Amino acid sequence: MPETTRRADRLPGTRYGNRPTMKDVAARAGVGLKTVSRVVNGEPGVTPDTERRVQEAIDALGFRRNDSARVLRKGRTASIGLVLEDLADPFYGPLSRAVEEVARAHGALLINGSSAEDPEREQELALALCARRVDGLVVIPAGDDHRYLEPEIRAGVATVFVDRPAGRIDADVVLSDNFGGARDGVAHLIAHGHRRIGFIGDMPRIHTAAERLRGYRAAMEDAGIAVEERWMSLGATNPERVRRAAEDMLAGPGPVTAVFTGNNRVTVTVIRVLAEQSRRVALVGFDDIELADLLQPGVTVVAQDSAALGRTAAERLFRQLDGTLVAPERIELPTRLITRGSGELPPAD
């Protein structure tokens, strides 16, 4: 099969396996080094005939410009970094994709990494990206102290935080209205007659979790309901703990008649638990989930627009790079209550 390449063809040994450089192209085309550079970059000042000869040499040698050298010379990498929690989480896919699209529109590549919710790993990753001299950084914080980025920001790395605010530095932040969204969601349950309402969320050291908890408390207080300690479960990170927490608050005397869940992962687990109950328990979840409308009953959620979060953050980042922006700002995007049935169930004591 003459039309294929076998790996055995590859030149062994030397670095990059003897990749041709502009010098090689110049020699082959019989022109100067800079002339090749001009052709490659589409700069003016090359006669059509010379350009053709250079182009032929490029094609013949399979030359490809070395962007590392280019970056070293020019000082801009045309790439931005994205540090997020977990790409496998359905919440971050669209966000990442939105950031990528904006980057692409600005001719930049996106490098991303997952912090796995570990502050140390977040720092390690962010600094590795800075060492590559990304032009900017979009960070979904795992930690709560970002002073380690001070030298980078001072050195000109555009930085925007998303989903959670930065810790101890003054920087651009784009978030959802976690407090308001949670308060509205819980108020919705109260409006449908519930008073014993459970809350299952992430560790309060995570800003979004703390804000949503605050929203829950605010809604309850507004309604004059005293929250009992056992209605709340914080830091339920894995499905087993969420399950136990849900079962606990559904059992015993004075069980909850409704549950507010603090994020999509918790919601999914709680849906399973509720499906096993004989009694109908109301549910409102933070974050939308796919197929929520097809379940019985449909799942009422407080939805945030993760793509909009990413897009807004990335656009702001490039405006920093343009020099258009000066003062860091905190942008809060609204959430949307989507009623589908589960949040409208009446209390079943």
Partner DNA sequence: CTCGCATCTGACAACGTTGTCCAGGCTCTA
Partner DNA sequence: TAGAGCCTGGACAACGTTGTCAGATGCGAG
Residues of this chain, 15-44, that bind DNA according to CB under 7 A? 15-16, 19, 21-23, 26, 30-35, 37-38, 40-41, 44
Partner that binds at residue 45, options DNA, its own copies, none, CB closer than 5 to 8 Å by kind: DNA
Distance CA 190, CA 210 (A): 21
Partner that binds at residue 47, options DNA, its own copies, none, CB closer than 5 to 8 Å by kind: DNA
List helix spans (H) across 44-111: 48-61, 67-74, 92-105
Q: Between residues 126 and 250, which has the closer beta carbon with respect to its own copies?
A: 126
CB within 8 A of 132, min separation 6: which ones?
A: 77, 79, 81, 111
Distance CA 182, CA 185 (A): 5
CB within 8 A of 67, min separation 6: which ones?
A: 77
Partner that binds at residue 327, options DNA, its own copies, none, CB closer than 5 to 8 Å by kind: its own copies
The answer to whether residues 46 and 38 touch, using CB atoms and an 8 Å cutoff, is: yes
Furthest C-alpha separation in the chain? 90
Distance CA 159, CA 316 (A): 9
Position 196 contacts DNA (CB under 7 A)? no
Partner that binds at residue 6, options DNA, its own copies, none, CB closer than 5 to 8 Å by kind: its own copies
Distance CA 133, CA 321 (A): 14
Partner that binds at residue 62, options DNA, its own copies, none, CB closer than 5 to 8 Å by kind: its own copies
Residue corresponding to tokens 């300690």? 229
Shortest distance, CB of residue 6 to DNA, whole angstroms?
A: 25
CA angle 148, 236, 219 (to 5 degrees): 90
Helix (H, G, I), strand (E, B) or coil at 126: helix
Shortest distance, CB of residue 115 to DNA, whole angstroms?
A: 25
Q: Between residues 24 and 248, which has the closer beta carbon with respect to DNA?
A: 24
Segment lying near DNA (by CB under 7 A), choices 14-22, 122-130, 167-175, 307-315: 14-22
Site map for DNA, 63-102, x if CB under 7 A? x-xx--xx-xxx----------------------------
Partner that binds at residue 42, options its own copies, DNA, none, CB closer than 5 to 8 Å by kind: none
Q: Between residues 18 and 237, which has the closer beta carbon with respect to DNA?
A: 18
Position 55 contacts DNA (CB under 7 A)? no
DSSP per residue, 264-332: HHHHHHHHHHHHH-SS--EEEEES--TTGGGSSSBPEEEE--HHHHHHHHHHHHHHHHHT---S--EEE
Position 334 contacts DNA (CB under 7 A)? no
Position 47 contacts DNA (CB under 7 A)? yes
Selected from 45, 62, 107, 323, the binder of DNA by CB under 7 A is: 45
Partners of 84 in beta bridges: 114
The answer to whether residues 166 and 152 touch, using CB atoms and an 8 Å cutoff, is: no
Partner that binds at residue 235, options its own copies, DNA, none, CB closer than 5 to 8 Å by kind: none
Shortest distance, CB of residue 310 to its own copies, whole angstroms?
A: 10
Q: Between residues 40 and 87, which has the closer beta carbon with respect to DNA?
A: 40
Partner that binds at residue 341, options its own copies, DNA, none, CB closer than 5 to 8 Å by kind: none
Nearest to 231 by CA among 255, 209, 207: 255
Using CA of residue 43, residue 47, residue 49, residue 54, what is the dihedral sign? negative
Partner that binds at residue 35, options DNA, its own copies, none, CB closer than 5 to 8 Å by kind: DNA
Residues that bind DNA (CB under 7 A): 15-16, 19, 21-23, 26, 30-35, 37-38, 40-41, 44-47, 49-50, 63, 65-66, 69-70, 72-74
